[in-house]
């Protein structure tokens, strides 16, 4: 039985994916002698120009004020707190007797079908890694969401949610967002490819349900729904109030009085009808104010919901990074432990075969340690003097 994974996130590390030596040499779990391939790689700034350049130029041409023009859309998205310039999906297929070549063939087929499955998610890079110790072969797919039909700003912009909506994927609720539904769709596509290669895919998480919603997000969602209901209630009350204050007969009476008085300088209507019209106007003003307050409460609830969602995504990314760092730390610890064991065995053999050389080595080591301690004490003393 094979298992598969399609993990999507908003953090992409191009230098890591390209295996830039200055980055990879710091990672003990990456073996440069093992296979790693670059299937697709585009410069993001150039890709943004190709995807959004024409729309940005069209938008700038309509702006009369220079400060409203977009000078660099890529930099604008990078600095935005609500947008991400590029997303990344990490995909893998795992089975004990699955060879690297078989795995590579499956992942290659999955990557080649990406653009057909996702016409609004333009590929920025695809990188195959089979050089990480403790990990099976996997691919990093970097992509840029492209959405159309904006009425504010350029007509074409980057937005994952809107791009997925163009592909026909709409979120149902806060538990089944468009992104969650799309990830499940991609997972299913990878499973189908595995099946064509004779693999049976197991689902160890099946039946365990969706991840529990954070309390803050749940509360914000409830507040939002409550505000919507309150707005609808106020609108209904206004309609009922206007009907009660101004019956249809009174309206007709006022219209007839106005028609009869058109030849004079004043329009005369009965006092009772006039009072009812004044009351309706006042009620309408009060209802309008209440509706505006409800609208503001609804917008505040939506903002709170969005902030909590982003905070949750940030925590998820941070947790992912911490797991990677922990794995790297454990590997480094194991390497140091192995090296220490080798040094210990070497010293034991040296002491047995050449006691004088062993004694000289220990003496030299003590001198090295002594110099380091002396340097550290001197550094601390200088630091205290500066602080004082």
Structural domain boundaries in the chain:
3-211, 216-346, 354-387
Q: 37 - beta bridge partners?
A: 128
Q: What pTM did the predictor assign?
A: 0.54
pLDDT at 379: 72
What pLDDT does 257 receive?
59
Whole-number pLDDT of residue 90: 93
Structure tokens at 24: 């990879």
CA 175/CA 161 separation, integer angstroms = 15
User: What per-residue confidence (pLDDT) applies to 212?
Assistant: 35
3-211: CATH, from 3.30.930, 3.30.1360, 3.90.660, 3.20.20: 3.30.930
pLDDT for the residue 217: 46
Give the model's pLDDT for residue 256. 60
List of residues 6+ apart from 328 with CB closer than 8 A = 27, 28, 29
* DSSP codes joined into one string, 118-159: -TTEEEEEEEEE--BTTS--EEEEEEEE-EE--SSS-SEE--
Burial 90-123 (b: 16+ CB within 10 A, else e): bbbbebeebeeebbbebbbebbeebeeebebbbb
Tell me the two tokens of residue 355: 């006691």
The CA distance from 138 to 3, in Å, is 12
- The segments of the chain whose pLDDT lies below 50 read 207-219, 222, 262-263, 265, 386-388
Give residue-wise pLDDT tens across range 74-120. Answer: 999 999 988 999 999 999 999 888 999 999 999 999 999 999 999 99
């Amino acid at each position: 039985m094979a298992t598969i994974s399609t993990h999507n996130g908003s953090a992409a590390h191009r230098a890591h994916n390209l295996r830039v030596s200055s980055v990879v040499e710091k990672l003990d779990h990456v073996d440069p002698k093992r296979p790693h391939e670059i299937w697709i790689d585009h410069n993001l700034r150039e890709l943004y120009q190709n995807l959004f350049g024409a729309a940005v130029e069209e938008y700038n041409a309509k702006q009369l004020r220079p400060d409203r023009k977009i000078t660099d859309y890529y930099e604008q998205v990078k600095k935005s707190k609500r947008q991400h310039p590029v997303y990344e999906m990490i995909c893998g297929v795992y089975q004990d007797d699955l060879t690297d070549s078989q795995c590579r063939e499956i992942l290659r087929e999955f990557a080649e079908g990406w653009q057909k499955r996702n016409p609004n998610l333009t590929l920025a890079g695809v990188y195959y890694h089979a050089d990480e110790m403790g990990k099976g072969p996997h691919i990093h797919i970097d992509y840029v969401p492209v959405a159309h039909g904006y009425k504010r700003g350029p007509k074409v912009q980057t937005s994952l949610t809107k791009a997925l909506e163009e592909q026909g994927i709409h979120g149902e609720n806060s538990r089944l967002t468009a992104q969650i539904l799309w990830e499940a769709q991609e997972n299913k596509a990878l499973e189908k490819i595995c099946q064509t290669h004779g693999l049976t895919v197991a689902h160890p998480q099946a039946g365990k349900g969706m991840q529990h919603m954070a309390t803050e997000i749940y509360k914000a969602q409830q507040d939002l729904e409550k505000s919507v209901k309150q707005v609808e209630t106020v609108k209904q009350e206004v309609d009922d109030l206007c009907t009660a204050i101004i019956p249809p007969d009174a309206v007709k009476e006022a219209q007839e009085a106005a028609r009869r008085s058109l030849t004079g300088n004043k329009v005369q209507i009965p006092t009772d009808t006039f009072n009812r019209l004044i009351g309706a106007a006042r009620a309408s003003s009060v209802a309008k104010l209440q509706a505006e307050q409800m609208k503001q409460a609804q917008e505040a609830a939506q903002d709170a919901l969005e902030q909590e969602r982003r905070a949750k995504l940030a925590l998820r990314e941070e947790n992912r990074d911490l797991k990677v760092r922990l794995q790297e730390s454990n590997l480094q610890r194991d390497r140091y432990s192995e090296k220490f064991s080798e040094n210990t065995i070497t010293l034991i053999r040296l002491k047995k075969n050449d006691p004088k050389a062993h004694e000289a080595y220990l003496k030299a080591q003590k001198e090295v340690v002594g110099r380091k301690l002396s340097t550290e004490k001197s550094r601390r003393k200088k630091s205290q003097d500066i602080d004082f």
